Structure 1
Amino acid sequence: MKIALIAHDEKKDDMVNFTIAYSNILKQHELFATGTTGTRISEATGLSIARFKSGPLGGDQQIGAKIAENEMDLIIFFRDPLTAQPHEPDISALMRLSDVYQIPLVTNTGGAEVMIRALDAGFFDWRNIVKEKK
């Protein structure tokens, strides 16, 4: 699966810790991340990560484009709900695209753990389920 990893500044440590804890699962998938988040994850885990620009410089929009082109399967986005973000319209657009294209998006560690464990157990393969119904 193609998984995007995004974290606001105040949540980057949480994302790094999450990816360290679940690196054995994440290494089985194609990973993408916004700028600094991708660098920090790669340095901490050694995981191969395709990096986009930082969020405020268009990284969120680049991931949104991947969603619109049907090239992203899951978004793990550790948002900071207590800090105003200068690129809030980009964040809203990314979340809207996830809803429009039915791409699962989790915004905190608890949701990410449920999703990654479901993925590891084989319970999360929604693209194949959709194909089987057609």
Structure 2
Amino acid sequence: METETHRPRVALIAHDHKKDDMVRLAREFRDALAGCTLMATGTTGGRLKNEVGLQVECLLSGPMGGDLQIGARLATGEVDAVVFLRDPMTPQPHEPDINALVRACDVHDVPCATNLSSGRMLLRALLGSA
């Protein structure tokens, strides 16, 4: 009997000043991420598709509700991990949405990395990469 293997479902989000870091992170873990079901907010997802060659479902941009879309999926068990490269030095107009997403990770016990170092650790743990 063949058993279905679970493809990790990973949400990738990066603030404007962190998008280059997200592209570098995705390149570093490209092979492992290619085996995942990926979703990302608008511009981040587009860059990951175009610059890294990953298959990514692009949702709305963060300020237009993309963070909330990911949060809704997370709340219904459709997200296994979140890598959200936040820019702590730049005020974000959609800060309540950002806080709601991070809170949803805490409420639903979904791992959430918010900087490059924790993103690497989370992806290594989830994907078994060195």
TM-score (norm 2): 0.91
Identify the residue that residue 108 of structure 1 maps to in structure 2: 115
5+ residue gaps, structure 1, are 123-134
Q: Which of the two has greater helix per residue?
A: 1
1:120 is displaced (CA, Å) by: 2.8
1:121 is displaced (CA, Å) by: 2.4
Identify the residue that residue 82 of structure 1 maps to in structure 2: 89
Task: Find the partner of 2:39 among 32, 35, 41.
Answer: 32
In the TM superposition, what are the counterparts of 1:1-134 in structure 2 within 5 Å? 1-121=8-128
Tell me the SS of whatever aligns to 2:35.
coil
Given residue 94 of structure 1, which amino acid in structure 2 is its aligned partner? L
Which deviates the most, 76-85 or 18-27? Answer: 18-27
Q: Give the Cα–Cα distance (whole angstroms) in 2 for the partners of residues 31 and 8 of structure 1.
A: 17
5+ residue gaps, structure 2, are 1-7
Q: Give the Cα–Cα distance (whole angstroms) in 1 for the partners of residues 14 and 108 of structure 2.
A: 21
Q: Give the Cα–Cα distance (whole angstroms) in 2 for the partners of residues 3 and 80 of structure 1.
A: 20
Identity %: 48
TM-score (norm 1): 0.89
1:119 is displaced (CA, Å) by: 2.0
Given residue 84 of structure 2, which amino acid in structure 1 is its aligned partner? F
Number of matched residues?
Answer: 122
Stretches of 4+ moved more than 6 A in 1?
Answer: none
Q: Deviations over 1:32-85 (max 9, x none)?
A: 000000000110111100010000000000000001111100000000000000
1:21 is displaced (CA, Å) by: 1.1
